[in-house]
C-alpha cells in the first residue's frame, strides 16, 4: 500500500476551463470498464466526448488510474483504461480504497459525482443511473447512485434508470431523497432503451434556459444543494419497444439467477445478456442514448455558463 501525494488530478485543460467559468461536462467511466463490450466501450466514450465538444463544452472523463482520481483523461489514458481487463468497478465507497491501494478503475455514477463535486463540475452525462433492483425486498440491492445523486450539487443527464431495475421503486426512492426528476421535452420517466410509461410522471422541461434557471434556483436562491436528474428519452425512432425489452429482461434475469450473479456484477451481466437476447438492439440503443445524453448535457452546461439574465 502507498499513500499517494496527489490523489486528485484535474486535467490542465479542464482546470483552466473551470477557472474561467467555461462549460464542462463530467463523463463516467464504469460504462467504459464494465458497461459495454470491447471495443464498443472505447468508441462510445470517444463519441460522447465528441458530442460534448460539438455542443460547445469540454468533456471531463472521471476515472481512477494507478491510485489517482483523474478529472479529465487524455486520449492515451482513455484507450488504456478501455483495454484494462483488471480495472475495478468503483462506486463512491470504493474510492478511498482504490486511491490508498493504487488501483485503476471505472467510476460509476456515484463515484463520478464525487469527482464532479471535488472539481465543482455542475453537469454530468451518463447512460442510465443505477437504482432499486427488482427483488430488492430480498436482496436489498439498491444502487448507491441514488444517495450520491441526492447529496451532490450536479445535474445528472441520463435516459432515466436502466430498465433492468424496478423502475417505479427507483422513482419512489428519488422522491424520498428529494431529487428533482425532470423530463426533457417529455413527462414520462424514460426506461433507458424504451421511452417509458406515461403513468410514471416527471416534471417536464422544454427549454435549456428553463433547465438552467431551475438549477440556479435550487443551488442559489433556494439554497437546497443536492442533485438534479434530467432524464432524456431516446427519440421514438431509436427507442426499443417496451414489451420486447420487458420480455428480454425477464429472460436475462432468469439467466442471472441461474448463474448466481450478485452485487456489482448484476448490472454488467444483465446488459451483456440483453445484447445477446436482442441481437444487439439494446447495445445500439445504449450507444445512441449515451451520445444523446452527452449532447443534452453540453447544451445545459453552455446555458449554465452564460451570465444569468
Q: How far is the CB of 171 from ligand PSU (least distance, A)?
A: 16
Question: Considering only residues 137-166, where is the footprint of ligand PSU by CB under 6 A?
Answer: 143, 145
**Residue 18 or 270 having the CB closest to Mn ion:** 270
Q: Does 141 bind Mn ion (CB under 5 A)?
A: yes
Question: Binding string to ligand PSU for residues 66 to 85, with x set by CB under 6 A, is what?
Answer: --------------------
147 is catalytic: no
162 is catalytic: yes
**Residue 203 or 262 having the CB closest to Mn ion:** 262
Q: Does 127 bind ligand PSU (CB under 6 A)?
A: yes
Per partner kind, with CB cut-offs from 5 to 8 A, the member of ligand PSU, Mn ion, none near residue 109 is ligand PSU
Q: Does 145 bind Mn ion (CB under 5 A)?
A: no
Total residues contacting Mn ion (rule CB under 5 A)? 1
Please spell the DSSP secondary structure of 226-242, one letter per residue: S-EEEE-PPPTTTSPPH
Question: Considering only residues 269-288, where is the footprint of ligand PSU by CB under 6 A?
Answer: 271, 286
**Residue 143 or 186 having the CB closest to Mn ion:** 143
**Residue 23 or 127 having the CB closest to ligand PSU:** 127
Question: Considering only residues 242-271, where is the footprint of ligand PSU by CB under 6 A?
Answer: 264, 267, 271
> Interface with ligand PSU by CB under 6 A: which residues?
28, 30-31, 35, 108-109, 126-128, 130, 143, 145, 264, 267, 271, 286, 290
Q: Which residues are catalytic?
A: 28, 162
Binding residues vs Mn ion (CB under 5 A): 141
Amino acid at each position: 500500500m502507498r499513500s499517494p501525494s496527489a490523489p486528485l488530478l484535474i486535467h490542465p485543460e479542464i482546470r483552466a476551463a473551470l477557472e474561467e467559468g467555461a462549460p464542462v461536462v463530467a463523463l463516467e467511466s464504469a460504462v467504459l470498464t464494465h458497461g459495454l463490450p470491447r471495443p464498443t466501450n472505447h468508441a462510445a466514450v470517444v463519441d460522447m466526448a465528441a458530442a460534448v465538444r460539438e455542443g460547445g463544452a469540454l468533456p471531463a472523463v472521471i476515472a481512477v488510474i494507478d491510485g489517482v482520481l483523474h478529472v479529465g483523461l487524455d486520449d492515451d489514458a482513455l484507450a488504456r483504461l478501455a483495454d484494462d481487463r483488471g480495472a475495478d468497478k468503483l462506486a463512491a465507497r470504493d474510492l478511498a480504497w482504490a486511491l490508498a491501494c493504487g488501483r485503476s478503475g471505472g467510476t460509476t455514477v456515484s463515484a463520478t459525482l464525487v469527482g464532479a463535486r471535488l472539481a465543482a463540475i455542475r453537469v454530468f452525462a451518463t447512460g442510465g443511473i443505477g437504482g432499486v433492483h427488482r427483488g430488492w425486498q430480498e436482496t436489498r440491492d439498491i444502487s448507491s447512485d441514488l444517495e450520491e445523486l441526492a447529496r451532490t450539487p450536479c445535474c445528472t443527464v441520463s435516459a432515466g434508470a436502466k430498465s433492468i431495475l424496478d423502475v417505479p421503486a427507483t422513482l419512489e426512492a428519488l422522491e424520498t431523497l428529494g431529487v428533482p426528476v425532470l423530463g426533457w421535452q417529455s413527462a414520462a420517466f424514460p426506461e433507458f432503451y424504451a421511452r417509458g410509461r406515461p403513468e410514471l410522471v416527471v416534471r417536464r422541461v422544454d427549454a435549456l434556459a428553463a433547465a438552467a434557471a431551475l438549477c440556479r434556483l435550487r443551488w442559489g436562491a433556494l439554497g437546497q444543494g443536492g442533485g438534479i436528474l434530467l432524464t432524456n428519452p431516446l427519440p421514438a425512432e431509436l427507442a426499443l419497444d417496451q414489451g420486447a425489452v420487458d420480455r428480454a429482461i425477464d429472460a436475462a434475469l432468469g439467466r442471472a439467477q441461474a448463474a448466481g450473479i450478485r452485487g456489482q456484477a448484476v448490472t454488467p451481466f444483465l446488459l451483456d445478456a440483453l445484447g445477446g437476447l436482442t441481437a444487439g438492439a439494446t447495445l445500439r440503443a445504449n450507444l445512441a442514448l449515451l451520445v444523446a445524453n452527452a449532447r443534452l448535457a453540453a447544451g445545459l452546461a453552455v446555458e449554465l455558463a452564460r451570465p444569468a439574465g
